[in-house]
């Protein structure tokens, strides 16, 4: 396998852009990535597009990926649409990485794009043969149950969960691309409207629109295009085991994905400088960081109280603002996490810059089936 490096990134603002077509979002991110890399559309040899809802919201039931890449003149090459729930974009990035690492292609691009504002033709969870479908168990209900179990098992408090939201919204205020730029207090988080007891509205991320793109090539070829390429040290992808009787306060597939990524990169969690983690709910950041090995089970809230995960702490989590503040246009999220890390490594993250960062991890999980998560990606990048 060849070593792979990132030479170009592009990203739109995240937000609710009701009057902006999904094609326009894709075009902006793609052209920004091409310009950043100094690569022409015809030099792209293969392309992958992560998206979950284009068929149901934007009407692109077929050839969605081809339509998106046509916006930047990327045509006539192998183009693949990737749907993997919230991991759609990060899975597209993994496929682009494999394409180059294998030696089959020299330059590949991964696009993540989603438009969630518009008419949703059907609920996101409608399968009648799943535990969630039978019980009417929506994602807020799933995470509320996990929050209650974590609180019962480890003594985690609602105030500690609210601090996750406070931290991430504070970081989001420093991110010009973030959907929300508003600070909250613990009291404001706790007093916001209830969505699924004990989680209130500010414990959850919101729907949104956006796109992000990343261009990768071999590290040898990267020298021709960039003076500061970012190395892809590892990318892993796992799926759930769907066992009903299991620990609800941790994620086995995330433990396995992290283990694979650490082994591939030849490092451990103690070697990381910061991480971008899929915090769709405040409790999700807690459980996932514990599952990724950043701390022992039950310790994340305690270390949160001590400031370890703050932007100026020992190990910043979600300096971008995370999904809670930056936003979560599903297909774009995983690719946007990669863009965030590249910006920090280049010293271009502005007021949220993690100083001296050289190694970072991105994590994106998605989907729910039989009470388990469907897919998990973990990437480790090095400066």
Positions annotated as catalytic residues are: 86, 328
Question: Which H or E element spans position 9?
Answer: strand 4-11
Sheet with 46-50: strands ordered across: 79-82, 46-50, 107-115, 209-218, 4-11, 230-239, 372-382, 359-369, 274-276
Q: How far is CA 337 from CA 64, 359, 378, in A?
A: 22, 14, 11
Is the preceding omega at residue 193 within 30 degrees of 0, hence cis? no
Angle at 151 between CA 147 and CA 152, to 5 degrees: 115
Partners of 80 in the beta sheet?
A: 48
Is the separation of the CB atoms in 15 and 327 below 8 Å?
yes
38 torsion bin: left (phi>0), alpha (psi -120 to 50), beta (else): left
Is the separation of the CB atoms in 329 and 14 below 8 Å?
yes
């Amino acid at each position: 396998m060849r070593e792979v490096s990132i030479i170009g990134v592009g990203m739109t603002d995240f937000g609710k852009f009701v009057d902006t077509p999904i094609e326009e979002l894709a075009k902006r991110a793609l052209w920004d990535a091409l310009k950043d890399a100094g690569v022409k559309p015809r030099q792209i040899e293969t392309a992958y597009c992560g998206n979950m809802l284009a068929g149901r919201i934007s009407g692109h039931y077929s050839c969605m990926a081809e339509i998106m890449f046509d916006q930047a003149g990327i045509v006539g090459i192998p183009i693949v649409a990737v749907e993997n729930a919230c991991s759609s974009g990060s899975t597209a990035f993994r496929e682009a990485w494999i394409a180059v690492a294998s030696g089959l292609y020299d330059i590949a691009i991964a696009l993540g794009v989603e438009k969630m504002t518009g008419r949703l033709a059907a609920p996101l969870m409608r399968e009648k043969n799943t535990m969630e479908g039978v019980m009417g168990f929506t994602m807020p209900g799933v995470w509320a149950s996990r929050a209650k179990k974590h609180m019962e098992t480890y003594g985690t408090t609602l105030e500690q969960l609210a601090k996750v939201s406070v931290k991430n919204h504070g970081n989001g205020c420093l991110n010009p691309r973030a959907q929300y730029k508003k600070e909250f207090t613990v009291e404001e988080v706790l007093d916001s409207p209830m969505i699924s007891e004990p989680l209130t509205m500010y414990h959850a991320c919101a729907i949104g629109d956006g796109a992000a793109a990343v261009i990768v090539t071999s590290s040898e070829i990267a020298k021709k295009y960039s003076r500061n390429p970012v190395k892809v040290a590892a990318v892993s992808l796992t799926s759930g085991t769907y066992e009903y009787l299991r620990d609800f306060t941790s994620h086995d597939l995330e433990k396995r994905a992290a283990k694979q990524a650490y082994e591939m990169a030849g490092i451990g969690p103690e070697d990381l400088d910061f991480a971008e983690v899929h915090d769709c709910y405040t409790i999700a950041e807690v459980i996932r960081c514990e599952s990724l090995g950043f701390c022992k089970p039950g310790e994340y809230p305690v270390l949160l109280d001590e400031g370890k995960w703050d932007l100026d702490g020992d190990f910043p989590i979600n300096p971008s603002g995370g999904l809670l503040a930056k936003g979560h246009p599903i297909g774009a999220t995983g690719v946007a996490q990669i863009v965030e890390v590249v910006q920090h490594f280049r010293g271009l993250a502005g007021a949220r810059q993690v100083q001296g960062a050289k190694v970072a991890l991105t994590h994106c999980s998605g989907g729910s089936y039989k009470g388990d998560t469907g897919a998990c990606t973990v990437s480790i990048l090095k400066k």
